[in-house]
Amino acid sequence: MAYMRPPFQGSLVVALWVLAAASPASAQPAIEGYTDYQALSKQVEQLAADGAEPALVRAKSLATTLGGREVWLLTLGEVPQDGHESAAESKPPHDTKPAILVLGNVDATHVVGSELAMRLARLLAEKAKSDDAVKQILSRHTIYVIPRPSPDASEALFRRPLVGRDGNDRATDDDRDFATDEDPFEDLNGDGLITQMRVEEPAGTLVPHPDDPRVLVPADPAQRERGTYRVLSEGRDNDGDEQFNEDPPGGVAFNRNFTFKYPYFERGAGPHQVSEIETRAVADFAFDHPNIALVFSFSPDDNLMQPWKPNPAAENQRIKTAVLAADATVLDALATKYRAIHGGKGAPDSPSPAGSFVHWAYFHFGRWSLGARAWWIPEVPTAAPAGDKPADEKPVSPADATAEAPKPSDASKPDAGAKPDDAAKPAESDKPKRAEDKRGAADRNSLRWFENEKVTGFVPWTPIEHPDFPGRKVEVGGFLPYVRDNPPANKLDELAQKHLQFLLEVAERLPRLVLEEPKIESLGAGVFRLTTAVANAGQMPTMPQMGRVSGLQYPIQLQLEVPDGAKLIPAVARVRVEVLAAGARHEQTWLVQTNTDSALTATITAWAPAVGRDRKSVELKP
Amino acid sequence: MHKVPRIASVLLVVSSVEMFAMRFDAMAADPQASSAAVYQPAGAPADPKVPAQWNRYHLHGEISEFLQKLAAAHPERCRLQDLGKSFGGREMWLLTIGNFSRGELADKPAFWIDGGIHANEIQSVEVVLYTAWYLLESYGRNPLVTRLVDERAFFLLPMLSPDSRDAHMQKANTTHSPRSGQRPVDDDRDGLVDEDGPDDLDGDGSITQMRVHDPNGRLVPHAKYPNLMIDAPADEPGQYASLGQEGFDNDGDGRVNEDADGYYDPNRDWPWNWQPAYVQPGASRYPLSILENRLVGDFVMAHPQIAGAQSYHNAGGMILRGPGAKDDRYDPRDIEVLDVIGKRGAEMLPGYRYINIANDLYEVYGGEVDWFYDMQGVFTFTNELFTGFNFFRKASEGYFGSNEDLHAFDRYLLFGGGIIPWREIDHPQFGKVEVGGFAKNWVRQPPSFLLEEECHRNMAFTLYHADQMPQVEVQSIDVTPLPGGLTQVTAVIANRKVIPTHAAADVRHRITPPDRISIEGPAIEVVLGLKSTDRFFREPEEQKRRPQTLEFSSIGGMQAVYGRWVVRGSGPYTVTVVSPKGGRATRTSDAPQ
């Protein structure tokens, strides 16, 4: 439904445009060089065409979104010679090998994930012949890559004005006022960017930081400061509800639509879990592929820089919400390797896991799940004299930012920038007077990094006439969307190489089934005792404990097939082995009776879709 | 001074004159003298347009035909649509019942009824069919039915899991199967799907039990009912051992019946408080991942006027309300409302108890009842049809009655028709064993002669529930001149039903829009608008934004709200209330002198 617009709007539009024309629209976002949907589709098709022979790469669309875009899936790997593990099912050969599922930007604003996923696929295809490790991963495993799971939302990066957006094309009622998309952002200064606005007001809670007045921080009463500013996202209160830009276009967020800790009734969550075309397509793809052993996602919901912490006291609770201790050990080892390869420090904290894909993949899909933020603004030392700052201090992260670039999630809060819990502790009196005022540290660090890297990430505060604040001082400026979550394009290749190295490392450690040479004992009268063992030759258990708890991962099947003329005593041909730890083995004995004088060949097979398979034949000679 | 305005329009009320006329027509239309013309039984009509038999169970195809006949015979009050095809390609029939010539259907509070979500719970379909038939055939004959059909809309979905309904009737099963749909599932995760279900070893259409003579077994036959196996006394040897359900190891993995029709539970698939299968057995991939449920979910979400719902199950004689899980809470104000209706139901349904699922039954995450309440704001019950109380009109044990009562009822009232005596068969693994036990068509289902009563009493409760859905009315408009050429207009908006226009859960999560009460007139300008829940406006709230349309988060059951406007310009004044779940009403007053 349409709401009445406040009557004073029309007359000021002209004034705004005049102002916009006067201010130089110089800001070229730092994300130049990223791939929009059309270009991505071409890359996917090209990669599939180049890799078609010998069937190394395949591309297909998992679904067409509401916005008419394809959710691309790339399948990489050599076609196995003998692909069928079960007579009852005939699967595409790639689906019979243990697989790694790679997700690009599960958070649509984190487009770097899409760029890196695409590069990973390309690197694998390019090095398929030349690099031994790549050759091995592609012969043992299938790599599924979904580079851009939420293409409608991701496309916001390529539109002007530039708005940070994680929701897809479904029209939603973000603020639950029973109107949809009724209060969008407006580019008030006409620079093609949706940034922020600061409003001078006596009841404001923010002040300019003493060292860098561009950054607004909470006023500190202990320093006798009084707030003078309120920060809002750039735009108007279109529906007259005294909130700004609280319901812009952009609907359901992929990374808030999954079942783990689903954020009911919250912005971006959707009408219910897995309600969207793209979330359903990805979830169904995953469930349809029991051969997926591990899920690697690019996501701000990281567990490689800051691994998940188990909670042994809560381990026996019915609903699991903390990584199980047994799995944490395995994940920690992978995370340690990741950090060594990546080399970055001071990664930001992860956002809420509510509805998150990375959490879903572990807790509700029962697989090893790795989430990589991949990039963040590194710490840039201040110009202040060395020694001013303790060396071991934990670097600040953007999550601490006091005045963030507008994110839809913050838009409904009137003072989007102000987080009282970040208010600096009162200055200790025994410190030197020029000791760094730590408020807004992440924001100020971002600004230093922009300067060093010549990145346009911040728009200087510039006064405008704002129709909702007649006669008041309002300035538009602040951080651009995207620039603090996505690196400049020239850093992508190096990041992709690092993540390829890590992926190869992960694949090397995955569990592997090996059948030991069977032992045959003749007990006389055509009766044989046949003993073998299946072992896990990898460096990880055959499934995470969560896979077992969830009941979603397939156990190992160990089966003896005997030809006519032989029968089993008792007649149990197939046994299941739930899990094998790294290096562990399970011994199995069968008793076989033959009723012929000639030698018979029996076959032993050990297999689990996500672990692999081994097969041995034995001769039963009377 | 002000004067009482003349009422220009009134709410929909069926006059008794009109109703008698309809009844007379129906009788006159019957040319032949028959008992139906002179002596109708109280209850269902004896001369319906569409004849029906309520002492037997029907296949999907028979039901399809019956529904088509109903829709053809009552086009002015009944529409039949197919929400989409089930996994097995069967129609998901949805029947809409209402008076299509009186107001827009979308403006009327609607009641949702479904049956057969657990397909083996077979009479839950017949009660929905009976309700549809009764509403249509008794319209114009019965005042309550006529009023409900005129004022309300009914959405009836008789078969939520139609593939498994046919499977239950056409294939070998127990009274308990299949509860799942027919989509194959690899329950034991061995790469084979549904490869080892129960087997009907004696070919009688029922899956019963297996026992074997075993001097070391711990079971003995019951002294009075030899078909009943009971534990041997602790100090006496037994004669038999149980081998479980009828079947063998179909796939050679040493286990019997470990992967039957693929187990997912359609009533653990709803989005509120959903948990995966390791927490809630039967949960499928994610909420509404079961095709048939998604069709229903999409329809319900697109019809926010649904204000009451009933999802029929069997058995045990229960009127169930949520919450399903102990970590969940219903708002006490909503529980009060449910209590009024549920307790009435317990009187209407002898042997039934009104209880809540989490505390009194067992925990259910992702149940349909909770989704209706918590995410759609709909007051919902699940009736568990049939109870052991029915056997001898006295309390019996367990959900289905005690074993002794079941065997006694079988002997004295079913004449042995409900229990298959033990008989010997050759088992591929175990050699000579015996099979026997309850036939699949009884225990959870009423026998023929109790089915119609079960249908009628449950329908009666559900119609009582439907009648308590909110119904807004503009009770009065009071016009008072003020100095300065202004006029004060006060409207009383009432809901004289038990259910509020918005559940507390609805208000808390902002599920449906508020009730909107607006004033209009050809020549008026609204100066201000006040809201009050008190007729004297002792603590009014001014609505500054858009005062012409006052918004109320809810109008309670048997309560009223009060809107007042100060307007410039002369009347008449038309006040309209639009409530997403409480209907709409309009009233116009005269201008003041």
pLDDT single digits (tens) A357-410: 999 999 999 999 999 999 999 999 987 554 444 444 444 444 444 444 444 444
Spatial neighbors of A555 by CB under 8 A, at least 6 apart, are A576, A577, A578, A579, A608, B189, B190
Q: Would the ipTM clear 0.85, i.e. be above it?
A: yes
- Rounded to an integer, what distance in angstroms lies between the CA atom of residue B169 and that of residue B63? 13
| A554 near B CB under 8 A | yes
Provide the residue ranges of all domains of chain B, joining segments of one domain with +.
6-37, 54-181+278-395+447-463, 184-261+401-442, 472-589
* Beta-sheet pairing, B353-356 with B318-321: parallel
Q: Is B510 in Cβ contact with A241 (below 8 Å)?
A: no
Output the CA–CA distances (angstroms, integers) from residue B453 to A25, A58, A136, A429, B158, in the order listed: 78, 61, 70, 84, 18
- Rounded to an integer, what distance in angstroms lies between the CA atom of residue B532 and that of residue A498? 65
Same fold, B54-181+278-395+447-463 and B472-589: no
Q: What's the pLDDT score for residue B24?
A: 47
Q: Is A283 in Cβ contact with B286 (below 8 Å)?
A: yes
Q: Looking at A77-115, which runs of residues are DSSP E strands?
A: 99-105
**Closest chain B C-alpha to A156 CA, distance in angstroms:** 28
DSSP state, residue A413? S
The H-assigned helical ranges of B74-188 are: 123-137, 143-151, 162-170
| B545 near A CB under 8 A | yes
Spatial neighbors of B278 by CB under 8 A, at least 6 apart, are A549, A550, A551
Q: Which two tokens stand for residue B319?
A: 């009127």
**Segment A459-490, tens digit of pLDDT:** 999 999 999 999 999 999 999 999 999 999 99
- Rounded to an integer, what distance in angstroms lies between the CA atom of residue A402 and that of residue A212? 13
Q: Which residue of B has its CA nearest to A279?
A: B286
User: At A501, phi and psi to the nearest 5?
Assistant: -55, -45
DSSP state, residue B232? P
Q: Is A555 in Cβ contact with B253 (below 8 Å)?
A: no
Domain B472-589 class in CATH = mainly beta
Q: Do B470 and B555 form a contact (C-beta atoms < 8 A)?
A: yes
| B276 near A CB under 8 A | yes
Q: Do A611 and A293 form a contact (C-beta atoms < 8 A)?
A: yes
Q: Which residues of A touch B279 (CB under 8 A)?
A: 318-319
* Beta-sheet pairing, A474-479 with A196-200: antiparallel
| A88 near B CB under 8 A | yes
DSSP state, residue A80? P
Q: What's the pLDDT score for residue B30?
A: 52
- Rounded to an integer, what distance in angstroms lies between the CA atom of residue B531 and that of residue B363? 42
- Rounded to an integer, what distance in angstroms lies between the CA atom of residue B393 and that of residue B387? 10
Output the CA–CA distances (angstroms, integers) from residue B134 to B43, B66, B74, B156, B385, in the order listed: 9, 13, 12, 13, 18
Name B241's bridge partners.
Answer: B212
Name A216's bridge partners.
Answer: A208
Q: Which residues of B touch A551 (CB under 8 A)?
A: 189, 277-278
Q: Do B213 and B240 form a contact (C-beta atoms < 8 A)?
A: yes
Q: Which residues of B touch A549 (CB under 8 A)?
A: 278
Whether residue A249 is preceded by a cis peptide bond, meaning omega within 30 degrees of 0, is no
Q: Do B499 and B308 form a contact (C-beta atoms < 8 A)?
A: yes
Taking each continuous run of H as one helix and of E as one strand, the counts in chain A are 12, 21
Q: Which residue of B has its CA nearest to A260?
A: B275
Q: Which two tokens stand for residue A323?
A: 């990584």
Q: Kindly report which listed range (A496-505, A565-574, B293-302, B476-485) carries the lowest average pLDDT score.
A: A565-574
Q: Is B546 in Cβ contact with A273 (below 8 Å)?
A: no
Nearest by CB to B286, which of A176, A273, A318?
A: A273
Strand (E) or helix (H) holding A206 = strand A206-208
- Rounded to an integer, what distance in angstroms lies between the CA atom of residue A604 and that of residue A589? 11
Query: Three-state SS for A366?
Result: coil
Q: Half-sphere exposure (CA, 13 Å, Cβ side) for A486?
A: 28
Q: Is A570 in Cβ contact with B301 (below 8 Å)?
A: no
Nearest CA to A62 among A93, A89, A101, A96?
A101
Q: Is A572 in Cβ contact with B285 (below 8 Å)?
A: no
Q: Is A549 in Cβ contact with B271 (below 8 Å)?
A: no
List the 352-391 stretch of A: residues with Cβ below 8 A of B: 364
- Rounded to an integer, what distance in angstroms lies between the CA atom of residue B552 and that of residue B532? 9
Spatial neighbors of A132 by CB under 8 A, at least 6 apart, are none
Residue A537 has pLDDT above 90, yes or no: yes
| B172 near A CB under 8 A | no
| B507 near A CB under 8 A | no
Q: Which two tokens stand for residue A581?
A: 């730890």
Neighbours of B536 (CB within 10 A): 8
Q: What's the pLDDT score for residue A422?
A: 41
Q: What's the pLDDT score for residue A415?
A: 41
Name A122's bridge partners.
Answer: none
Residue A84 has pLDDT above 80, yes or no: no
Q: What's the pLDDT score for residue A4?
A: 38
pLDDT tens, residue order, chain B (593 aa): 444 444 434 333 444 444 444 444 555 555 566 787 788 899 999 999 999 999 999 999 999 999 999 999 999 999 999 999 999 999 999 999 999 999 999 999 999 999 999 999 999 999 999 999 999 999 999 999 999 999 999 999 999 999 999 999 999 999 999 999 999 888 888 877 888 899 999 999 999 999 999 999 999 999 999 999 999 999 999 999 999 999 999 887 778 888 876 689 999 999 999 999 999 999 999 999 999 999 999 999 999 999 999 999 999 999 999 999 999 999 999 999 999 999 999 999 999 999 999 999 999 999 999 999 999 999 999 999 999 999 999 999 989 999 999 999 999 999 999 999 999 999 999 999 999 999 999 999 999 999 999 999 999 999 999 999 999 999 999 999 999 999 999 999 999 999 999 999 999 999 999 999 999 999 899 999 999 999 999 999 999 999 999 999 999 999 999 999 999 998 899 999 999 999 999 999 975 54
Q: Which two tokens stand for residue B379?
A: 């007051």
Q: Given CA atoms A234, A240, A246, A247 in this order, what sign does their dihedral have?
A: negative
The C-alpha torsion from B54 through B58 and B60 to B64, rounded to 10°, is -40
Query: Three-state SS for B321?
Result: strand
Query: Three-state SS for A117?
Result: helix
Q: Which residues of B touch A241 (CB under 8 A)?
A: 545
Strand (E) or helix (H) holding A334 = helix A325-342
- Rounded to an integer, what distance in angstroms lies between the CA atom of residue A96 and that of residue A141? 9
| B184 near A CB under 8 A | no
Q: Which two tokens stand for residue A491?
A: 């850093």
Q: Is B287 in Cβ contact with A574 (below 8 Å)?
A: no
Domain B54-181+278-395+447-463 fold is Aminopeptidase (3.40.630)
Q: Which residue of B has its CA nearest to A574?
A: B253
**Closest chain B C-alpha to A227 CA, distance in angstroms:** 29
A3: left (phi over 0), alpha (psi -120 to 50) or beta: beta
Q: Is B288 in Cβ contact with A86 (below 8 Å)?
A: no
**Closest chain B C-alpha to A486 CA, distance in angstroms:** 31
Q: Which of B185, B286, B502, B525 to mutate to test the interface with A (most CBs of A within 10 A)?
A: B286
The H-assigned helical ranges of B420-529 are: 448-467, 504-509
Q: Which residue of A has its CA nearest to B254?
A: A572
State pTM to two decimals.
0.91
| A315 near B CB under 8 A | no
